[in-house]
Structure 1
Amino acid sequence: MNKRNHEEGTAPKYLVVDKQPHATVSEQFRTIRTNIMYSSVNTDIKSVLFTSDLAGSGKSTVAANMAVAYAQAGKKTLLLDADLRRPTSHETFRVGNREGLSTLIVNDIHLKEVIKGTEFDNLDLITSGPIPPNPAELLSAPKLDAIMVRLVTHYDMVIIDSPPILSVTDAQLLSKNADGVVLVTNVEKNNRDRLNEAKDLLNKSGANILGIVLNGRTAEYKRDGHNYYYQKSQAT
C-alpha cells in the first residue's frame, strides 16, 4: 500500500535518509541496514525491534530512518509503532492516530484498516493508536503474535519501534515477536552499567541482539564525526 495518507496534505517531518541521501549519517543508516541483512546466515531477518536503554536516546528517529532506508532499497517495508506510551510515528509522518496497533489488538477489525500509506514508495505505517491504560497487557496478548505472523508474511521487513527497555517491560514482551533487536543509546547519556542491564534484560527474554547504535557519536568519539554508528553487541 503506497497510497499517501497525510493529514491536510502535510509532508512528513525531516528524515535525513530522505532529505540528505549523500550525507555521512545517511550512509551510516545504510550500513546498519547492510549489517542487519548479513547478521544471520541461515535465517532471513524480516522483523527488527528498535529499543533503547533510556528515553531520549533517539530510538524512534533511528527506527523511522531505518524504515525509509529499507524502502529505498526496494524492500516492502512496514514501520510498526509499538510504543504505546509515548508514540511518535504519527507525528513524524503527519498521519492520524485514531486507529492503530492498540485498536487492532482490542477490536475485531481487519489489518488493512490500520495500515497507512506514506509518501515513500515501499513504506507503510501502523501507528500506535490511542494510548491504552494497560500497554504491557495488550502487548502480551496472543493476538499480537497472530498480527506479527501476518505482517512478516506480507512485508519484506517490519521495523518495530518500542519503549525504552529500562523503563518498562514492553520491549521484552515485543522482542519475542522480532527476529532481531537493535539497542539504541545516546553516547552523551549512557554508561556501561545501564547498557549491560539493558542487554541482560533482552537476553533473559530470549532476544536475538543484533547490535548497538551509538547515537550522537561525534568527533570526540570517532574521528570522522559520524552521528550514528553501528556496533556489534559483545559480552562484557
Structure 2
Amino acid sequence: MNTKRKLVTKTDPKSPISEQYKTIRTNINFSSVDQEMRSIMVTSSGPGEGKSTTAANLSVVFAQQGKKVLLVDADMRKPTAHYTFNLTNTFGLTTVLTRQKGLTEVTNSSDVENLDILACGPIPPNPAELMSSRAMEHFLLEAYNEYDVLIFDTPPILAVTDAQVLANQCDGTVLVISSGTTEVESAVKAKELLSSTKGKLLGVVLNNREVKDTSYYYYYGKK
C-alpha cells in the first residue's frame, strides 16, 4: 500500500473512508463524558490488520478538528510511521526514553496542520521495559503539556506485552481487527488482555470490510 492510500484522510478528506475515520473520531470524543480522551492507544490482535494505518488517519482527523496532535510510533518491534510520513528514524521515542534527547528535539512537524510525528527511533533490546519505565511516565507528562491529543501506534497485543503495558497508561484503546482474516478467538483474547490490564477499550475498528458502493455512498456520500 502506498503512502497516498495510507493517508486517505489527508489526500481525499471528503471520501467515504475519510468520513468513517471522522465517525471514529466523533465516537472517541463522546466515549467518555467525564474524562477528555487525551491519549489513545491503537493496537490489533495480530500483524497486518491495519492498526498503523488507523493510527495515522485518526491522527490526521483529530488535527483537522483543530487539536494539536502528536502521533507516537510506539511499535518498537516494527516501526512504520517514518515511512508513512517520509521521515528518517534516526531519533524518536526511544531516544527520549533513554534520555539522549528531549521531546521537542526529536519531534517532526508534518505537512498536516497541527500534526507532529514522533518516530520510533533506534529499536531497543527491551521495548516492554521502556514502556513501563519511569521515563515513559515523564514523557507522557511532558507531551501532555505540548499537545491536546497523543495517539500511540503499538505492536499487536497478542504478539508481545508492549501494548498491555501501555494500555493502562493511556486514556483509552482502539482495537483494530481485519474483516475475514482476524479469528474470532484472537479478537476475544485481545479484548480480554486489554481488560486484564485495566485498559479502557473505547471500541473496535473493523478494517478491510468490503461494502457495495451503492449503500456505502448512500450513507456517506451525500455531504
Give the equivalent residue in structure 1 for 2:83.
91
8 A Cα contact 2:71 2:153, kept in partner: yes
Distance in 1, matches of 2:89 and 2:182, equals: 32
**Which sections of structure 1, spanning at least 5 residues, go unmatched?**
1-11, 227-236
| TM-score, structure 2 normalization | 0.92
Q: Which residue of 2 aligns with 1:229?
A: none
Q: Which amino acid in 2 is paired with 1:156? A: D
In the alignment, which of 166, 169, 185 is matched to residue 174 of structure 1? 166
- Once the two structures are TM-superposed, the CA of residue 107 in structure 1 deviates from its matched residue by 2.6
Which one is further off, 148-157 or 206-215?
148-157
Q: Deviations over 1:136-180 (max 9, x none)?
A: 121121110110122123211111000000100010011122100
1: CA distance, partners of 2:169 / 2:190: 18
Superposition misfits of 4+ residues, deviation over 4 angstroms: none
Letter in structure 2 aligned against 1:18: K
Match of 1:115 among 107, 115, 118: 107
Counterpart code for 1:209: L
- How many angstroms does 1:71 deviate by? 0.7
Instruction: State how 1:15-34 maps to structure 2 within 5 Å.
Output: 15-34=7-26
2:153 aligns with one of 135, 157, 161: 161
Conserved 8 A contact 1:29-1:65: yes
CA contact (8 A) 1:219 1:225 kept: no
Of 179, 183, 187, the match for 1:187: 179
Q: 60, 67, 70: which one pairs with 1:78?
A: 70
Partner of 2:221: none
The aligned amino acid for 2:114 is N
Matched with 1:197 is 189
What is the CA-CA distance between 1:68 and the residue it aligns to? Answer: 0.6
- Determine which of 10, 13, 19 is the counterpart of 2:3: 13
Q: CA offsets per residue over residues 175-202 of structure 1, 9 Å max, x none?
A: 1221000000101211221111000100
Identical amino acids, percent of aligned pairs? 43
**Within 2, Cα distance between the matches of 1:76 and 1:106?**
25
CA RMSD after TM alignment: 1.7
